[in-house]
Each structure stands twice: as structure tokens, then as C-alpha cells.
């Protein structure tokens, strides 16, 4: 029955599902439908499945659960939907009910518990750093973590300490969970870039995981607790910056202030930044969450275009998603690897000397499949940042060329 002729539903999930007009415009942009070619592996199919479960018209079972589990949560469908279906909200709600019915795996529960215990997580990452080379290849699920400290790291102010009055613009920085151990170089780069742009960073100590990992696994209570914790941690901050595009949407829904992708902020103040030329060919991966959640793709392209002689190759082969999908690269590494492989093949033939990607999960997933350096774009931008006494007026002008 067409959505327009259906009766209004009192069930919120059914109400979300009933907005779907079954036009099928989501199918061409859905990674899982592109890989499988099955209606049940499409957004339209999953919407119908979740609605049928909610109305008790079909019995839940392992096959239907698998179709829901396979969704990568990329948001491509929501971006193109002419009816404005809130697919992410529907997916989270459906997985919440699914979890109530069947529970969660031990691995999922372990990951959820680990990311909210930063000391334990940091200790395990440190152990992994020291022993990774000794592990069999099948257990090397993540790239080697970076060194504990970055040379020349500029300290971030503790937002909880009393600070002198200043007219310098400031922004709070959201760190995240696994990013705390893996994104030290990116935080170093952001601090240097913000200093050059006249922005002072603060980093509240009481912040925690964004909760996206919990929400997309159906742990709605856990996600709500983390959201409340971050709301309190960032209270009073008008602007909060994200480094990982995968955390952006969850954090934006949790805090009262404005959530801004760090790349967008730097782009808005790019007249304060001058970059040295770099005759290099770099590959750029644009994560699903950067395209569909943080919206910083245009800003990133403009920033890279300010580096003279740089050639940027955007890699986009395959199904529209690298397959990392939060923790799916750990839960189902074989399937995740199949989504990643076309991108790695394109990277290998691109002639690029490094790969840039703005989401921590994508970088970990892609970095574990290539020998090329994989960086946050901010790291590369900071490398090319010109000091005032060495600036060449021409170096700040747009000069990068792009190729696909």
C-alpha cells in the first residue's frame, strides 16, 4: 500500500517507516544493495522489514536480523531521499528493539564497555603497540598505534581551570574514545593550525565516547547516558569541534552548543593560513559521515586547494562505503574487507604517495590494508603550514589540482 494511503501510526517506528514512498531512489546509493543486489539489503527493504516487525505481520528471525545487521549506517539513502525519511533514526530504533529481543554478542558488549573506560582502553592500545608485530596477521585488526607523544605538541588548555579573560576566539575539542590513542598527531596538527588561525582550543576532561557505537548496536540506554555525560562536559561552550566525522552527528545531538567539524572552522578562517608548496600526488578518501553528517567535504577541498602544486586524487571506487561502519570492521572483518578492497585497488593504481581521510574508523580500516601513510587531512595541512617569516604570498593562493 502506498505510504500516502496508510493510516497514521501510533508506533513511532511505524510512523518513521510510513514516510517512505517506496520510490527506490535510495537503491543506487546503498552500498549493501550495490554489493548484494537484493531488495532486503536495501534501505527500502529494511524499512519494510522494520515496519513489519513493529506491526507483528512477520515473525523476527535470523535471516531478517542478518539483513538489519548488514546495514553500514552510511546515511547515503537519507541524503537522497525525496520524502525526508529519517532512516538513521529508524535504524537505531529498529536495532534497539532487536537488541531487546535477542541481546548482544559478547564482543559487542566488550567493545561498548571498553570505549567508556579510557584508562583500560589506553593500556590495551599501549600493549597492542608493543606486541602487534608478534601477533599473527589475522589478529592484527588495526594499524600500529602512533607514538605516545608527538614532538612539538602544543598543550591544550584544561577547560575546567580558571582562565584569564581574552578576546581570542576559543573552541572546545571533542576527543572521542579510540581516537584518544590514535589521533594524537591529528590533535597536534589541529592545535598548530588553530594557533595560526587565531583560535584557542580547550579540551574538557569529563568528556567521553560519543555513543554512536552503542546507538547503532541498539544500546539506546547506554548511548543516552554518554550523551548526558558529554552534554554536561561541554556545558557553557558555544562551539565544539570534532576531528572524526563519525562522531559528529551523535555529539551534535547530545550537546547544547554548536558542533562544528574542525575542517569547516579552519576553512572559514583560511585567510589567516598560509601553506608552502608541495609537488605531491595524494589520495583523498571522503567518508560517508563526512559527506552526510559533518558536511565538511567542500571545506576540505578548498583547504587542500590552497597548497600550491598539490595534486589530489579522490578515491571512490566500489560501493560508496569503505565498510568500517564503526565496529563492523571488528565484528565482521571479512565482509568489511570486501567493501574496502575496491578502494585499496584504486589507491594502488593512483600513483598517490599517501592517503588522507577525515574519519578515524575509515583511517584505521584503510590503513590496515595499505603500506602507504594514512593521515587525517589536518596532519598534512599542518605539515605544509608556513611560518610568518617564511611565507611566500603566492603560497596561500589556490593552487592544487584535482583528479578523479
Sheet of 281-285: strand order equals 374-375, 355-357, 281-285, 311-315, 401-403
- CB 26: neighbour CB atoms within 10 A? 25
Q: What is the CA radius of gyration of the chain?
A: 22
pLDDT reading at 391 higher than 80: no
Report the distance separating Cα 307 and Cα 299, nearest Å.
14
- What is the DSSP secondary-structure string of 197-262? TT-EEE--TT----SHHHHTTT-HHHHHHHHHHHHHHTTT-SEEEES-HHHHHHHHTT-SSEEEEH
- The string of pLDDT tens digits covering residues 255-277 is 999 999 999 999 999 999 999 99
pLDDT reading at 398 higher than 50: no
pLDDT reading at 151 higher than 80: no
pLDDT reading at 7 higher than 50: no
> Residue 388: what pLDDT?
67
CATH topology of domain 271-403: Rossmann fold (3.40.50)
**Sequence-distant (≥ 6) Cβ neighbours of residue 143 within 8 angstroms:** 364, 367, 368, 374
**Sequence-distant (≥ 6) Cβ neighbours of residue 123 within 8 angstroms:** none
Q: State the CATH class of domain 3-102.
A: mainly alpha
Residue 44 CA, distance from chain mean position? 24
> Residue 147: what pLDDT?
81
- On whether the CB atoms of residues 369 and 344 are closer than 8 A, the answer is yes
Report the distance separating Cα 243 and Cα 267, nearest Å.
14
Average pLDDT, the chain: 91
- The string of pLDDT tens digits covering residues 188-243 is 999 999 999 999 999 999 999 999 999 999 999 999 999 999 999 999 999 999 99
- On whether the CB atoms of residues 290 and 245 are closer than 8 A, the answer is yes
The residue count of the chain comes to 404
> Residue 169: what pLDDT?
79
Axis crossing angle, helix 220-233 with helix 245-252, rounded to the nearest 10: 80
Q: Could you tell me which residue, 402 or 114, shows the higher pLDDT?
A: 114
The kind and range of the H/E element at 171 are: strand 170-173
Across the range 385-395, mean pLDDT stands at 60
pLDDT interval class at 403 (50, 70, 90): low
Q: Which of 159-168, 234-243, 265-274, 346-355 has the lowest mean pLDDT?
A: 159-168
- On whether the CB atoms of residues 346 and 372 are closer than 8 A, the answer is no
Share of the chain above pLDDT 90, in %: 87
Nearest to 117 by CA among 178, 69, 64: 178
Which residue ranges make up each domain of the chain? 3-102, 115-268, 271-403
Q: Which of 3-12, 37-46, 57-66, 88-97 has the lowest mean pLDDT?
A: 3-12
- CB 251: neighbour CB atoms within 10 A? 27
Amino acid at each position: 500500500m502506498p505510504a500516502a494511503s496508510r493510516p497514521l501510526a501510533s508506533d513511532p517506528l511505524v510512523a518513521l517507516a510510513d514516510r517512505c514512498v517506496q520510490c527506490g531512489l535510495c537503491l543506487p546509493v546503498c552500498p549493501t544493495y550495490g554489493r548484494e543486489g537484493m531488495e532486503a539489503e536495501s534501505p527500502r527493504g529494511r524499512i519494510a522489514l522494520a515496519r513489519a516487525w513493529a506491526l507483528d505481520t512477520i515473525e523476527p528471525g535470523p535471516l531478517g536480523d542478518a539483513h538489519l545487521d548488514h546495514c553500514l549506517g552510511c546515511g547515503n539513502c537519507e541524503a537522497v531521499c525525496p520524502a525526508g525519511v529519517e532512516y538513521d533514526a529508524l535504524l537505531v530504533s529498529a536495532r534497539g528493539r532487536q537488541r531487546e529481543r535477542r541481546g548482544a554478542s559478547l564482543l559487542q558488549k566488550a567493545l561498548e564497555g571498553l570505549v567508556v573506560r579510557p584508562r583500560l582502553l589506553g593500556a590495551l592500545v599501549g600493549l597492542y603497540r608493543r606486541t602487534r608485530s608478534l601477533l599473527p596477521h589475522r589478529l592484527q585488526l588495526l594499524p600500529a598505534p602512533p607514538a605516545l607523544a608527538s614532538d612539538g605538541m602544543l598543550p591544550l588548555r584544561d577547560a575546567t581551570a580558571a582562565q584569564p579573560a581574552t578576546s581570542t576566539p576559543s573552541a572546545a575539542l571533542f576527543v572521542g574514545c579510540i581516537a584518544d590513542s590514535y589521533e594524537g598527531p591529528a590533535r597536534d596538527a589541529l592545535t598548530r593550525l588553530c594557533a595560526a588561525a587565531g583560535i584557542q582550543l580547550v579540551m574538557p576532561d569529563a568528556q567521553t565516547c560519543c555513543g554512536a557505537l552503542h546507538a547503532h548496536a541498539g544500546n539506546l540506554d547506554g548511548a543516552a547516558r554518554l550523551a548526558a555525560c558529554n552534554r554536561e562536559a561541554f556545558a557553557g561552550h558555544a562551539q565544539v569541534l570534532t576531528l572524526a566525522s563519525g562522531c559528529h552527528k551523535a555529539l551534535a545531538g547530545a550537546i547544547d552548543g554548536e558542533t562544528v567539524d574542525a575542517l569547516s572552522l579552519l576553512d572559514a578562517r583560511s585567510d589567516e593560513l598560509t601553506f608552502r608548496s608541495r609537488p605531491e600526488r595524494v589520495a583523498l578518501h571522503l567518508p560517508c559521515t563526512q559527506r552526510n553528517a559533518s558536511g565538511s567535504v567542500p571545506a576540505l577541498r578548498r583547504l587542500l586547494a590552497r597548497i600550491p602544486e598539490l595534486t589530489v586524487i579522490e578515491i571512490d571506487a566500489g560501493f560508496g562505503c569503505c565498510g568500517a561502519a564503526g565496529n563492523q570492521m571488528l565484528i565482521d572483518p571479512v565482509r568489511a574487507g570486501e567493501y574496502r578492497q575496491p578502494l585499496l585497488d584504486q589507491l594502488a593504481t593512483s600513483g598517490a604517495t599517501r592517503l588522507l581521510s577525515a574519519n578515524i574508523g575509515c583511517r584505521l580500516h584503510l590503513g590496515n590494508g595499505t603500506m602507504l601513510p594514512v593521515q587525517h587531512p589536518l596532519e598534512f595541512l599542518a605539515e605544509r603550514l608556513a611560518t610568518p617569516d617564511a611565507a611566500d604570498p603566492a603560497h596561500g593562493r589556490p593552487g592544487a589540482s584535482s583528479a578523479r
